[in-house]
Amino acid sequence: MTYSLTPSLLSSWQYYLDAGEEWEESAESDFIRTLKREKMEPTPAMQDGINFENRVEALCEGKPVTFLEGEDYERCVREVADWVRGGTWQVNTSKIIAVDGVSFLFHGRMDILKGPWIYDLKFSKSFDIGKYRDSPQTIGYLACEPGPVGIRYLVCDGSRVFVDEYRREDVGSVDSLVAEFWQWVAALPRFGDLYRKFWAIVEE
């Protein structure tokens, strides 16, 4: 049996594990909905990120873009567009990972692949260098793509752009991350049963 596994699922799991007592209930609810593959409406923060990425992509394609957020925001969009212009957008990537005799298809979609770097665009009101070092995107995408030397996160807070860069030799192992997830979820039937039900890949 092979199971599907995405950065979004692993991120939801990590968020649940790291949630404090105040947020534990909502984090668990979100994790269960992710396990059930329920469609969720974007939060305002997620929509901000989508809007930012769409504007950068439009600029890269030479399309007209309207800015209502102010000069600082526009400058950020143009700066990020300069970084990624000429790259390939929305690149699918995947890798088969075996843990304890079980196969997992880790797969995702990279924002931009350009030259020796993977680029991921973020819009966040708060940011610290190193924030994405242990992200499933960082670890997983570099494992799936042997060519790039690393991944760069271009993070906008609305007025500035931060560059958070990780080279592949500095990040963890996706195999270890997947093994940790599988051992955890398999030990808890209320989560493991949902994962097996909704994430199994049915071979035709």
pLDDT digits (tens, 9 = 90+) for 141-150: 999 999 999 9
Residue 30 lies in a domain: yes
Span of 87-91, 122-126, 142-146 with lowest mean pLDDT: 122-126
Q: What is the pTM of this model?
A: 0.91
Residue 36 lies in a domain: yes
Q: What is the CATH number of the domain that holds 71?
A: 3.90.320
Residue 23 lies in a domain: yes
Average pLDDT over residues 55-74: 91
Number of domains, the chain: 1
* Per-residue exposure over 184-201, b if at least 16 CB sit within 10 Å of its own CB, e if not: ebbeeeebeebbeeebee
Residue 204 lies in a domain: no
Domain that holds residue 30: 2-199
